[in-house]
Structure 1
Amino acid sequence: MTTTHAPPTSQTRKELLGPFYDSREMLLAAVLAGLAGATGAAAWLYSSGWYVTFMTGNTERMVLEHIQGAHVLGFTALVTVLTFVLGVIVATLARIHLWRKARHGATVLTAASTVAASISDATLNSPKDEFGIAPVLCLAFGLGALNTSISRKGEVVMPLSYVTGTLVKIGQGIGLHLAGRKRWGWVAHASTYAGFLTGAIVGGILFNAFDERNSLLTLAAVAVVVAVLTWRLDHPKFLESDGH
């Protein structure tokens, strides 16, 4: 029986990879999502409960805190959201004007932001029961930049810290799988989610082991190592496929 569809093995591979070009890029996304998870864990431990990966919650807080009379917290949430978006903008412009031949620049920018957060914290000299907003904003900026890493022609195709959207994709993919319409479309998103979750777990363990007050310094070291190790994963052929 003649058919115009791709062979089953080829079709299955395409569904497994989802928006990724190959397994190498899928691994890169999982590792970078792990860095995003570790960054979120560091910010949460450092600030005793402030999220830099949860812009949905920060958007709600910048409204609800004002309603409850906590105006400082409301403005802090607003600044966090704006700083996150600024990280996206800067990384996008840097990709266009500075890193045309290297998509990996966003990861370097994230690593630099974690180092800046650690240095900023070291210069605060605040009591142990207080934390500074500057280090948290540095992490928010770095996360915004990191989310531009997996792009196609300048458009992000796989956000790395947007876990809510990733879970939606996983759930919808499983539903389509069970319906027999698209068998493995959820796997690519599940790999990114697994990377984020692993990063949060490993980061949390490391930060507790080296003391929560040293979480930013530990994260800076981890981010630099990740930036170096993943440089080789960001293959030049991805740039060619992206049209750059």
Structure 2
Amino acid sequence: MTPTHSSATAERSAFLGPFHDRREMLLGGILAALAGATGAAAWLYSSGWYVTFMTGNTERMVLENVKGRPHLAVTAAATIVAFLIGVIVATLARLWLWRKARHGATVLTAASTVAAWGADATIYGGHPTLAVAPVLCLAFGLGALNTSISRRGEVVMPLSYVTGTLVKIGQGAALHVAGVRRWAWVAQVTTYAGFLIGAGVGGVGFAVFGVESSLLTLAVFAVAIAFVTWWLDHPGFLVRDVH
């Protein structure tokens, strides 16, 4: 192998990051868009309740008690628990039910958005204490979605962890400028761009269709993404992806 060929191979590997090929990179961007849309819908629906920001929810779980608002601390804790349960359920389902079907996690996410819409339509008006149910459903779905891009049981590309993605973009850009490793930021930018576009789609959905129909719009979008994920699933990297 010549040095030139070796260098080209290394650049291609850095360009793809944790993805097997460009098709999976496209899939990562699409799933990140779903994560962004879900987070935007939850935030707008609840007037400022994040389901993508578990760091902030962890701080709120502690600090709301300090401010004398324990009920808000409870909602933050419930969001974290729902997110964590989503991760656990999707991981176990991947191990036991769909070992060669990555789109199973997206099906869980789509189902959670449908459940959120159903909860909003049936219990919000008559049962104010259960008004948190739609947002907790979305948190569960995001936890499940984040297990989609994994290798041997380990997540290699989180889809809603934007802080970590930005750190890797910045580090990859610095390595590129320094000539240490070229194009290492591209895969992360793809995921970040997908999340950003998805957040915009979620925001526009609320503006166009209104609060009453926003969760239904998100559910339709999530179901469509589940079908796209099924179509993009590639048997070659699914086999290598199995625990």
Q: TM-score band, normalised by the shorter chain?
A: over 0.9
117-126 or 81-90: which moved more?
117-126
Indicate the residue corresponding to 1:132 in structure 2: 131
Change (3 A) 1:178 1:130: farther
1:26-72 CA deviation, whole Å, 9 max, x = no partner? 00000000000000010011101101001010000000000111000
Aligned to 1:165, the other structure's residue is in SS state helix
Whether 1:37 aligns to 2:36 is yes
Aligned residue identity for 2:235 = P
Distance 1:3-1:229 versus aligned 2 partners, 3 A rule: closer
Q: Between the two proteins, what is the percent identity of the paired residues?
A: 67
CA contact (8 A) 1:150 1:156 kept: yes
What are the within-5 Å matches in structure 2 for residues 39-54 of structure 1?
A: 39-54=38-53
Match of 2:163, SS state, is helix
Q: Distance in 2 between matches of 1:175 and 1:112?
A: 40
The residue aligned with 1:112 is 111
Deviation for aligned residue 1:3:
5.0
**What are the within-5 Å matches in structure 2 for residues 158-237 of structure 1?**
158-237=157-236
Unaligned runs of 5+ in 2: none
1:27 equivalenced with 2:15 (yes/no): no
Determine the C-alpha separation between the residues in 2 that align with 1:63 and 1:125.
27
Q: Per the alignment, do residues 131 and 51 of structure 1 end up closer, same or farther by CA in structure 2, a change over 3 Å counting? A: farther
Change (3 A) 1:90 1:52: same
Quote the offset at 1:124 in angstroms: 2.0
User: Structure 2: which amino acid aligns with 1:48?
Assistant: S
Give the AA of the match of 2:108: L
What is the count of residue pairs matched by the alignment?
242
Aligned to 1:67: 66
Q: Which residue of 2 aligns with 1:122?
A: 121
For structure 1, which segment, 138-147 or 7-16, has the greater mean C-alpha deviation from structure 2 after superposition? 7-16
Distance in 1 between the 2:3 and 2:208 partners? Answer: 57
Equivalent in the alignment of 1:94: 93
Stretch of structure 1 that moved more, 175-184 or 10-19: 10-19
Q: Which runs of 5+ in 1 are unaligned?
A: none
TM superposition score normalised by structure 2: 0.95
Give, in whole Å, the separation in 2 of the partners of 1:119 and 1:6.
55
In the TM superposition, what is the alpha-carbon distance from 1:10 to its structure 2 partner?
2.5
Q: Residues 46 and 131 of structure 1 are in contact (CA less than 8 Å); yes or no, is this contact kept in structure 2? A: no
1:208 positional shift: 1.1
Which segment is superposed worse, 55-64 or 98-107?
98-107
| CA distance in structure 1 between the partners assigned to 2:181 and 2:130 by the alignment | 47
1:12 is displaced (CA, Å) by 2.0
* Contact kept? 1:33, 1:196, Cα under 8 Å: yes
* Deviation at residue 137 of structure 1 after TM alignment: 0.3
**Residues of 2 paired with 1:119 and 1:126: CA distance?**
12
Q: Which amino acid aligns with 2:112?
A: S
Query: Is 1:156–2:152 an aligned residue pair?
Result: no
Structure 2: distance between partners of 1:45 and 1:131: 18
- The 2-side partners of 1:125 and 1:116 are apart by 13
Deviation of the 1:242 alpha carbon:
2.2
